[in-house]
Each structure stands twice: as C-alpha cells, then as structure tokens.
Copies of this chain bind each other. A is one copy, B any other.
Amino acid sequence: MIDFEKLKHVFPFFQELSSEDVFEFLQHTRVLKLKAGEVFLEQGSRKSNIYFVKEGLIRSYFVNEKGEEITNRLRYENQAMSCYEIDLLNEPSRFNLQALEPTELIVMEVKTMRQIVHGNAKWEAGLRFFTNSSLVQALAVVDDFILLSPEQRYLKFVKEHPELLNRVPNKYIANVLGITPVSLSRIRKRITTKKQ
C-alpha cells in the first residue's frame, strides 16, 4: 500500500517522522516529471512551492539586463529548492527554475505545508529541522564567500559534490562559485599543473 520507494526520498528532509507521517505528507504533494532542459518556474511567477528532488538535477538562474543567464543554485537528489521569498516577501520570483536532466520532483505548495504543519507538534518539529538545516547551510555558503578564495571554493565544491562535476556544465558551477567560466577554466588548469 505505502510506496516506500517514494518515501525514502523525503526522509532526509525531516527528522523524527515515521513512515506513516511521511506517507500522509506525500498525500498533499504532486509529482512533477521533467525533461532535460525544461523550465518549470519562470521569473516573475508567484507560485510559492517547495521542490524536493527525488531524481535528477535542477538549477535556479537569473537573467540579467544583458540577457545573460547566471546560475545561483544547483540542487540534486535529496536536496530541496524552495521559493520562500515569494511567499514571505510577497514578491514574484527573480529566478527561473530549470531541469538539467530528466528529473522527478515532489512538489508542495508552501501554503499547504503551513496548513498541514499547523497544530501538529511532530510536523512542527520536522519542518523546523528542515528550515534550520537550510539556514545553517545558507550561512555556511556566505562564510565560504567571505573566508575562501575562488580557488579554495572550487576545491571545496569538488570535495563536497564530486558527482556533480560530470553532470553539470562548468559554466554553471563557475556561476555558483561567483566567478566567470573563463576564470574557472584557469583555476582548473592552475590546480592540475600544481599537482605535478
């Protein structure tokens, strides 16, 4: 009855929840299947969802005045992409969301999540864990920008997400590290020649 195959992809997000809890949670979600390249949220949208990546890889990107795309986040299996600011600030999204591979997302509206969680201590705890984790992670990224050089940030990225190197174009990784693709190419060369 319960699709444990689905369940296990949601567990990493919430702590201290039983299979039944997670199953109930999934009742309020829908699955979004995407082809590689598909844009599933456009700049200016006001849909405030949380996307859990079950399978595949997505990016968030910004289009500047020159029409250039700048990728600011990458999310893959067992990670979540949320558009909190849409709901919290009541502002439309500044970013587009796109699948980079055939991708399966578990989607839940922020409003729905709030309703489900409301008044249920277990869910409150689960959601709090999830949000706190996201916050700690975001602050750690800020600290990396302050404390590390671009080269050090790249080395850290390689160490933490080695599997992404073969899945994501370098230009997106460069953007996420706050540098240009050309500069990343030079950094990579510098590193390989250093090792000799």
Contact = CB atoms under 8 A, between A and B. Distances in A.
Contact of A132 (B131, B136, B141): B131
A164 interface: no
A1 to B, nearest CB: 31
Contact of A72 (B70, B128, B138, B147): B147
The number of times this chain is found in the oligomer is: 2
The A interface is mostly helix, strand or loop, or mixed, namely helix
Interface residues of A, number: 34
A183 to B, nearest CB: 13
14 contacts: A62-B143, A72-B143, A84-B135, A84-B139, A85-B139, A85-B140, A128-B131, A131-B131, A134-B135, A135-B135, A138-B139, A138-B142, A142-B142, A146-B176
